[in-house]
Structure 1
């Protein structure tokens, strides 16, 4: 049976509804060698982020995918604290970001060591929290995947193949996504278990279709960052092209930032259901497709 692995344990499809597939609870975009990197007081994180979770619970959201990975301040313990305080499941990744956000130990590790680390986090738990990683998050450079990023990706593909986990990658250029898919398939895994994060940043819509044609998920995750007048036509174009079965929608918002006083000012995760979904309905998108985009697709993408 497919399950979503969360901070509150595995969840089956009938236990969930709306899922936001790309958000952040805690993130530090400084490089890991900076003083104070990823350090914060748990009570401060809960105080700032619990109201953000309560706001989406009021909209009917039942789970959120945390996209902060290794190298950008992943703190599974902070995710767990916020989750417990709100009784709200959060899906946390293993993996690591791109250069230069790669810790020294990851840069030294072999593919086998990286694979073993990801497998341990997927199967046993992360950072002594007991929370199993729900998926693998990584990234690639805008100008092409580096040798170190490729090593991380190959290890991820092997760990994913062994567990059924999905791999999501912050990759801006569609041509780089295609290179990543070649590597994943070369390792014996499948493009259908890959999420092209930030697909909307690729200006060539033909690349969106090409990535989807390989079987991968495409993700439009800047909702709220840009006007609805930009977001709505993009979604409608994808639906008209028949991509609704592989489309994920989210905000890429939040979050507690330890580099900012008091964690900064979070941006809410509420625009999708506060604004975009009503406008999709007004545009004639059928309710079955709304459910697919906001419930079925995220579960199918991240469950294993």
Structure 2
């Protein structure tokens, strides 16, 4: 049985409705060697972020995927506290971001050690939280994959093969995402277990097609950060081209930022339901297609 592993335990398809596949509850974009990196009072994060979660619960959102990974401040204990306070499941990743956000211990670890670390977090739990990682989040440099990033990717591929966890990568250029797919496949990992995050940043739509043709998921995750008419055009172009079966949409917003006084001012996760979905309906996108984009697709991408 397919399930998504969350802070509140596994969730089946029939237990879920709309899913936001790319958001942040807590993130620190400073490098891990900076003073105060990823440090915050849990109660302060809960106070700031639970209202953001309550707002999407009222909209009918049933699950949120936390995209903060190692290197940019992942705190599974904080995600768990926010989740419990809001009674709302959150999906937390294992893995690590790109250079220079790679801590020394990961730089020094072997591929085998990195693989086993990811498998352990996916099957036994993250640190002492009891939370099973629900997926693997990585990244690659904008101009190419560094040797260290490739080592992490190969380890992730092997962990995915062992657990069926999906791998999502912050990758700006389509050609680099395709290089990542080559590495994954060389390790026996199926392209269906790869999400090309930030696909909207690749302006060559032909590369969106190639990614989907190879079996990968593509993700337009700038809802609420780009004009709705731009998003409507992008989504309709993808649907009309037959890419809708492999398309994810989200905001990439939030979050409590420990580098800012009081955590800063989070940007809400509400624009998709409040504005974009009505705009898509007006443009002629069917209810069935919208359910596919907001419910079925994200479940299939993250379930294992």
Give the TM-score band, short-chain normalised: over 0.9
CA contact (8 A) 2:232 2:283 kept: no
Q: What's the counterpart of residue 66 of structure 1?
A: 66
Question: Secondary structure at 1:83's aligned position in 2?
Answer: helix
Q: What's the counterpart of residue 107 of structure 1?
A: 107
Alignment deviations for residues 238-281 of structure 1 (CA, whole Å, 9 cap, x no partner): 11111100000000000000000000000000111100101111
Q: Aligned-pair distance for 1:226?
A: 1.1
Alignment deviations for residues 61-89 of structure 1 (CA, whole Å, 9 cap, x no partner): 00000000000000000000000000000
> Does 1:209 pair with 2:209?
yes
TM-score, structure 1 length as denominator?
A: 1.00
Q: What's the counterpart of residue 221 of structure 1?
A: 221
TM-score, structure 2 length as denominator?
A: 1.00
Question: Secondary structure at 2:268's aligned position in 1?
Answer: coil
Aligned residues: 304
Q: Aligned-pair distance for 1:127?
A: 1.8
Q: What's the counterpart of residue 251 of structure 1?
A: 251
Q: What's the counterpart of residue 196 of structure 1?
A: 196
User: Distance in 2 between the 1:107 and 1:53 partners?
Assistant: 35
Q: What's the counterpart of residue 185 of structure 2?
A: 185
> Does 1:282 pair with 2:282?
yes
User: Distance in 1 between the 2:155 and 2:147 partners?
Assistant: 12
RMSD after superposition: 0.4
Q: What's the counterpart of residue 174 of structure 2?
A: 174
Q: What's the counterpart of residue 159 of structure 2?
A: 159
Q: Aligned-pair distance for 1:54?
A: 0.3
Question: Secondary structure at 2:301's aligned position in 1?
Answer: helix
User: Distance in 2 between the 1:211 and 1:145 partners?
Assistant: 17
What does 1:47-86 align with in structure 2 at a 5 Å threshold? Answer: 47-86=47-86
Q: Aligned-pair distance for 1:230?
A: 1.4
User: Distance in 2 between the 1:232 and 1:261 partners?
Assistant: 36
Q: Aligned-pair distance for 1:284?
A: 1.0
Question: Secondary structure at 2:55's aligned position in 1?
Answer: helix
- Please list every run of 5 or more consecutive structure 1 residues that lacks an aligned counterpart in the other structure: none
Q: What's the counterpart of residue 149 of structure 2?
A: 149
Q: Aligned-pair distance for 1:229?
A: 1.8
Q: What's the counterpart of residue 91 of structure 1?
A: 91
- Please list every run of 5 or more consecutive structure 2 residues that lacks an aligned counterpart in the other structure: none
Q: What's the counterpart of residue 34 of structure 2?
A: 34
Q: What's the counterpart of residue 291 of structure 2?
A: 291
> Does 1:238 pair with 2:238?
yes
CA contact (8 A) 2:166 2:302 kept: yes
Alignment deviations for residues 105-149 of structure 1 (CA, whole Å, 9 cap, x no partner): 000000000001000000000021000000000000011100000
User: Distance in 2 between the 1:258 and 1:127 partners?
Assistant: 21
Q: Aligned-pair distance for 1:29?
A: 0.2
Alignment deviations for residues 194-232 of structure 1 (CA, whole Å, 9 cap, x no partner): 000000000111111111111000000011111112111
